[in-house]
Amino acid sequence: MGLIPKFFQLFPKEGLAGAWSEFKGLQLNPFTALNGKQKELIGLGVAAQIPCGYCIYFHRSAAKLYEATDREMNEALAVAADVRHWSTIFHGPQIDFASFKKDADQMLKNSSQRQLQS
């Protein structure tokens, strides 16, 4: 019999099958749209934002198993921080969402056109 982590041992038995199915089907499944390294880098960025020291440890260690470099992990953390920064900028002054979407769509269109010209 393999290891049953303490956090699964402490999980309410009524929800354990569902929790394990979700974890196994998404996080541990090699046949999803994202590869393991991508999932762990996302997990690391989210974990740092929550913040959850347990999650940071897990996702950082798992990312290393998938051969994520320190540079990749630091970039994922910087992107997570950047998203949080801009969320504050958008929400503080209560920018109109429809106006934001219009601006964002135009920015993305311009960016896409520049990339095609490069």
Q: Within a domain: residue 94?
A: yes
Question: How confident is the prediction for the chain on average, in pLDDT?
Answer: 94
Rounded alpha-carbon distances, angstroms, from residue 15 to 11, 24, 46, 83: 7, 14, 23, 32
Closest CA to 85 of 44, 36, 49: 49
Is 10 a domain residue?
no
In the prediction, which pLDDT does 118 show? 65
For residue 3, what pLDDT is reported?
87
Structural domain span for residue 82: 16-117
Q: Are 59 and 40 in contact (CB under 8 A)?
A: yes
Band of the pLDDT at 19, cuts 50, 70, 90? very high
| Domain of residue 80, CATH code | 1.20.1290.10
* Mean of pLDDT values over 101-115: 89
* pLDDT exceeds 60 at position 1: no
Residue 59's pLDDT is what?
Answer: 98
The residue ranking higher by pLDDT, 63 or 3, is 63
Per-residue confidence (pLDDT) for residue 114, from 0 to 100: 75
How many structural domains compose the chain?
A: 1
Question: CB 79: neighbour CB atoms within 10 A?
Answer: 13
pLDDT at 57 over 60: yes
Q: Quick check: 48 and 77 in contact, CB under 8 A?
A: yes
The mean pLDDT value for 99-112 works out to: 93
Label residue 116 by pLDDT band (50, 70, 90). Answer: low
Which DSSP category does 30 fall into? T
Q: Is residue 110 part of a domain?
A: yes
